[in-house]
Every structure is written in structure tokens, then in C-alpha cells.
Amino acid sequence: MKLLNNKIALVTGGSRGIGKSIVLKFAEHGANVIFSYLSSEEKANLVIKECEQYGVRVSAVRSDASNYLSAQKLVDGVLDEYGQIDALVNNAGIAKDNLLIRMTEEDFDSVIATNMKSVFNMTKMVQKSMLKMRKGSIINISSIVGIKGNAGQSNYSASKAGIIGFSKSIALELGSRNIRSNVIAPGYIETEMTGHLDDKAALEWKNNIPLRRGGTPEDVANVALFLASDMSSFITGQVLNVCGGMAT
């Protein structure tokens, strides 16, 4: 059964990692997907090629979600072509980890802008269309460290905690119009972003996970599929931890 048949989905940061997996999962379930990317057109084109097997329309747009005008142009382009956006996934994110004593102002500001302000930009741009339709699903990708915190990630943790507060507020603002706003908080997911960890650090992470393994991007994509579909029609303002039990 295709859970997103004929729906229009917009995903930021969809050329790799979790974002790529969400694009593929949505396309597999019948959605027409537009995703943004910031740097690698080659990677974006490979994602589009992988989606060809599903017989849906998938396209990529180079766009910086942290830039207000760029986000507006992206959303306007999607609405001009498709007329609606049924699901928005705010996934764009970066990490610039360091202890606070060594963290620069630029490292703090860039992480907050990319991870949190992008969520404000995209949600603000999309809400007008969803309000007219009186329906929609907004899915924001946070992190378990936005709940627990983590040494050396004060900027990243702050941005991800901010996403949770923002999402809950939007759920309250837009719920009466049947627009849902939910959060996915991944734990240790094996992607390019975690690939820089050495074997010892990766093992320490996994030993703190009750399921004793790292998650996969598809683990997160499956939850995004649920939240984008009508199966979650009575769920809003919630944080779903995809962490193997780390938050228990």
C-alpha cells in the first residue's frame, strides 16, 4: 500500500544521509518529491536517478534554507508547479562541534542559522498554502542531543532544542486548521555526519544504546513516512525519539 499516493512533499537537505533516505521512502510510497541541496549537484542527480524506479516526479533545487529569500523562492517555485505542498520535512542541518571554550562565534551562528532558522523560514513560507488547504504535515528533524545535551555540541544541542520548542508552538497555532507539526529526534544514526568518529568513539556511542547498534537513515525515514501519512492524522506537537532507547 502506498501511503503518500499523489501527495506533494518538500524535503530540505535531501541529497544525502537522512534526507536522501526520506526522499527515497516518500517516492516509494507514491509522493512527488522536491528536495533542496546546497553543494553537490552530482549527489542530487544520483538521488533523482534512484527514484526513477518509483514512477513519480522527483526534482532537486539548489537552495539555502537558512536564507529567508532563498527559502521563499524555493517554496514559491514548488507552489507554481504543483499548486500545493502536503508535507514539509525540515531536515537541513550541519554540525560544528567543539567545547565552548574553543567554539567561535561563527561556529555558533552558522549552526543556529542552518539548523534552526531554516525551520522558521521554511515553515513560514509553507504555512500559507497549508492554511488554504486546511491540511498539512510539518516534520522537523531534531536530535536526541536537543533533549539530553552533549558535551562539545552546545551549538548543535541548542539548535535542535529550539526546533522542538518551535514545533510544539506551531502545533498549537495551526492545529485548528488541521495542520500537524511534529518532531523526529534521531539518536546515533550511521551517516556521513557521524562517519568522522573513530572506532573507539563510535563504540562508546553504541554501548550507551539499549539496542546496542546505531540506527540507519531508513529507520528515521520510516517514522517520517508515518508522520507524513494519514496514519498519523491525530498526532501533533509530539517528539518521536528514534534513538534505540538512548532517551529512556
Catalytic residues, by residue number, are: 156
d(CA 8, CA 133): 13
Give the residue from 13, 21, 36, 15 showing the smallest Cα distance to 189. Answer: 21
Burial 127-146 (b: 16+ CB within 10 A, else e): bebbeeeeebbbbbbbbbbb
Q: Which of 29, 24, 23, 35 is nearest to 5 (CA)?
A: 29
Q: What distances in angstroms separate CA 201 from CA 18, 67, 196, 214, one per listed residue?
A: 21, 34, 10, 12
Evaluated on CA atoms 215, 217, 222, 224, the torsion sign reads positive
Report residue 240: phi and psi, to 5°: -100, 115
CB atoms inside a 10 Å sphere around CB 191: 19
The residue behind cell 495542520 is 179
Residues 6+ apart with CB under 8 A from 41: 60, 62
